[in-house]
């Protein structure tokens, strides 16, 4: 009986652990790669670069013992990017204030527990 209680206590304490296990050099590498891809494609692949960095950050995050996983795709983000761009044109730039919030909503929508 006592062993069972110790196992349950250890399991509960492990669930409460949250941490980030990515490294600085990895982040610098992903950002440089994203910048180069964006530069070489004249900005067309910027959504792909964002997805690449978001995926790295989210996949290296553990909340309460459960690792997060990013499921978003660059193609999906590219479609939203075009929609947001057109909305900014139609509203004379006013919609640009909401683009950052829309991007965060998309990022959270495409994040799950692994």
Residues 6+ apart with CB under 8 A from 98: none
The C-alpha atoms of residue 8 and residue 15 are separated, in whole angstroms, by 11
Q: Is residue 8's pLDDT more than 90?
A: no
Where along the chain do its domains lie? 43-114
For 19, phi then psi, to 5°, come to -160, 170
- Written as one string, the DSSP assignment of 32-97 is HHHHHHHHHTTTTTHHHHHHHHHHHHHHTEEETTEEEEE---HHHHHHHHHHHHHHHHHTTTTTHH
How crowded is the C-beta side of 8, counted as CA atoms within 13 Å?
5
Give residue 51's Cα distance to chain centre: 7
Q: Which of 14-23, 61-70, 77-86, 104-113 has the lowest mean pLDDT?
A: 14-23
| Per-residue model confidence (pLDDT) at position 15 | 66
- Whether 34 and 74 have beta carbons less than 8 Å apart is answered as no
The C-alpha atoms of residue 86 and residue 95 are separated, in whole angstroms, by 9
The pLDDT tens digits for 11-26 are 545 568 999 999 999 9
């Amino acid at each position: 009986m006592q062993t069972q209680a110790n196992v349950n206590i250890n399991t509960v304490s492990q669930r409460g652990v949250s941490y980030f296990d990515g490294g600085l050099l990895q982040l610098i590498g992903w950002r440089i790669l994203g910048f180069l891809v964006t530069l070489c494609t004249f900005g067309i692949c910027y959504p792909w670069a964002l997805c690449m960095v978001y995926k790295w950050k989210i996949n290296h995050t553990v909340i309460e013992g459960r690792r997060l996983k990013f499921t978003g795709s660059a193609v999906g983000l590219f479609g939203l990017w075009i929609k947001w761009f057109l909305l900014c044109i139609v509203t004379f730039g006013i919609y640009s204030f909401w683009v950052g919030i829309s991007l965060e909503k998309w990022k959270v929508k495409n994040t799950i527990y692994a």
